[in-house]
Structure 1
Amino acid sequence: AQVRAFRGSESKSRNQIASNPQQAKYLLSVERQQKVKEALYLFLLQKREENELSQAFTAYNTRIITPPMGPVGPTSPVRRNILLIAFVAGLAIPAGILFTMESLNTKVRVRKDIENITAPFLGELPMSGKVRKKGIRARLLSMIGIKPKAGDVERYEILVKEGSRNIVNEAFRVIRSNLEFIIGKNTDHKVIMLTSMNPGSGKTFITSNLAASFAIKGKKVCIVDLDLRKTTISKYVGSPRAGVSGYLNGEIADWHKILMPVGKTHNLSMLPGGSIPPNPSELLYSPNMSRLIDELRKEFDLLFIDCPPTDMVADTSIITPMADLTIFVMRSGVLDRRLVPTIQGFYTDKKFNNMTILLNGIPSKVNGYGYGYGYGYGYGYGYGYGHGKEDA
Structure 2
Amino acid sequence: MTDTSRPAQAAEEDEIDLGLLMAQLWAGRNWIAGATTAAAFLALAYLVNTPPTYRADALLQLEAKSGSMALPQALSAMAEIEPQSATEVEILRSRFVLGEAVAGTHLDWRAAPVRLPLLGQAVASGRLPLPDLDVLTAYDRGDARIRLDMLEVPPEWIGEEIRVTAGEGGRFTLRLPDESLAEGAVGVPLSLPGQGFGLRIGALEGAPGREFVILQRDETQAIQSLRGRVSVAERGRGSSILEVSLTGEDPAELQRTLGAITEAYLRQNMSRSAAEAQSSLDFIERQLPEARAAVTKAEEQLNAYRQAQQAIDLGFEGQSLLTQIAAAEAELRQLAAEEEDLAERYTQQHPVYQKLLSARTRLEERLAALRRETTELPETQREVFNLTRDLEVAQQVYLQLLNRAQELSVLKASTLGNVRIIDSARTEPLPIAPRRGRVLALALLLGALGGAGFVLGRHWLRRGVRGAEEIDRMGLPVFATVLYAPAVAGNRRRKGTLPILALTEPDAVAVEGIRSLRTSLHFGMLDAQSRSIAFTSSAPEAGKSFLAVNLAVVAADAGQRVCLVDADLRRGRIRQYFRVGKGEPGLSDYLAGEAALEDLLRPTPIPGLRVMTTGRYPPNPSELLMRPALSELVAELDRRFDLTIFDAPPALAVTDPVVIGRAVGATIAVVRHDVTTTGEVEALLRQLQGAGVKPAGAVLNAYKPEAGRGPYGYGYGYGYRYQYSYRPQARD
Q: Percent identity at matched positions?
A: 29
Which of 304, 318, 339 aligns to 2:645? It is 304
- Partner SS for 1:313: coil
Structure number with greater CO (CA < 8 Å, separation at least 6) is: 1
**CA offsets 1:29-50 (integer angstroms, 9 cap, x no match):** xxxxxxxxxx99x76xx99976
Map of 1:385 onto structure 2 = 725
* Residue 129 in structure 1 maps to residue 486 in structure 2: yes
Q: Is the 8 A contact 1:202 1:379 kept in 2?
A: no
- 1:62–1:277 Cα change, 3 Å: closer
Q: Is the 8 A contact 1:201 1:330 kept in 2?
A: yes
Q: Is the 8 A contact 1:293 1:322 kept in 2?
A: yes
C-alpha root-mean-square deviation of aligned residues, in Å? 4.2
**CA offsets 1:103-134 (integer angstroms, 9 cap, x no match):** 22233343344342212111222222333888
Q: How does 1:100-119 map to 2 (within 5 A)?
A: 100-119=457-476
> 1:357 is aligned with what amino acid?
A
Higher strand content, 1 or 2 = 2
Q: CA deviation at 1:215?
A: 0.7
Map of 1:34 onto structure 2 = none
- Partner SS for 1:269: strand
Relative to the length of structure 1, the TM-score reads: 0.68
- 1:70–1:297 Cα change, 3 Å: same
Which of 196, 204, 207 aligns to 2:537? It is 196
- Partner SS for 1:200: coil
* Residue 173 in structure 1 maps to residue 515 in structure 2: yes
Q: Is the 8 A contact 1:194 1:207 kept in 2?
A: yes
Mean Cα deviation higher: 279-288 or 223-232: 279-288
* Residue 182 in structure 1 maps to residue 524 in structure 2: yes
Map of 2:261 onto structure 1 = none
> 1:167 is aligned with what amino acid?
V
> 1:385 is aligned with what amino acid?
S
Q: Structure 2, unaligned stretches of length 5 or more?
A: 1-281, 287-401, 727-732
Q: Is the 8 A contact 1:106 1:338 kept in 2?
A: no
Map of 1:219 onto structure 2 = 560
For 1:116 and 1:323, the matched residues in 2 are separated by 26
Higher helix content, 1 or 2 = 2
* Residue 267 in structure 1 maps to residue 608 in structure 2: yes
Aligned residue pairs total 323
Which of 290, 301, 305 aligns to 2:631? It is 290
**CA offsets 1:197-216 (integer angstroms, 9 cap, x no match):** 12221111111111111111
- 1:74–1:295 Cα change, 3 Å: closer
Off by >6 Å, runs of 4+ in structure 1: 46-49, 57-71, 347-350, 368-371, 378-383
Map of 1:357 onto structure 2 = 698
Q: CA deviation at 1:274?
A: 0.9
For 1:56 and 1:246, the matched residues in 2 are separated by 118
- 1:343–1:290 Cα change, 3 Å: closer
- 1:67–1:291 Cα change, 3 Å: closer
Q: Is the 8 A contact 2:539 2:721 kept in 1?
A: no
For 1:158 and 1:260, the matched residues in 2 are separated by 17
For 1:279 and 1:53, the matched residues in 2 are separated by 113
Map of 1:249 onto structure 2 = 592
For 2:480 and 2:691, the matched residues in 1 are separated by 21
For 2:472 and 2:409, the matched residues in 1 are separated by 96
For 1:120 and 1:381, the matched residues in 2 are separated by 26
Q: Is the 8 A contact 2:472 2:478 kept in 1?
A: no
Map of 1:36 onto structure 2 = none
Q: CA deviation at 1:86?
A: 2.7
Q: CA deviation at 1:172?
A: 1.2
**CA offsets 1:321-366 (integer angstroms, 9 cap, x no match):** 2211111111234323323333454677683345211122223534
Map of 1:95 onto structure 2 = 452
Relative to the length of structure 2, the TM-score reads: 0.39
For 2:416 and 2:572, the matched residues in 1 are separated by 105
Q: CA deviation at 1:164?
A: 2.3
- Partner SS for 1:365: helix
Q: CA deviation at 1:187?
A: 6.8
* Residue 229 in structure 1 maps to residue 570 in structure 2: yes
Q: Is the 8 A contact 2:538 2:681 kept in 1?
A: no
For 1:284 and 1:65, the matched residues in 2 are separated by 98
Q: CA deviation at 1:77?
A: 4.7
For 1:277 and 1:57, the matched residues in 2 are separated by 109
For 1:284 and 1:55, the matched residues in 2 are separated by 112
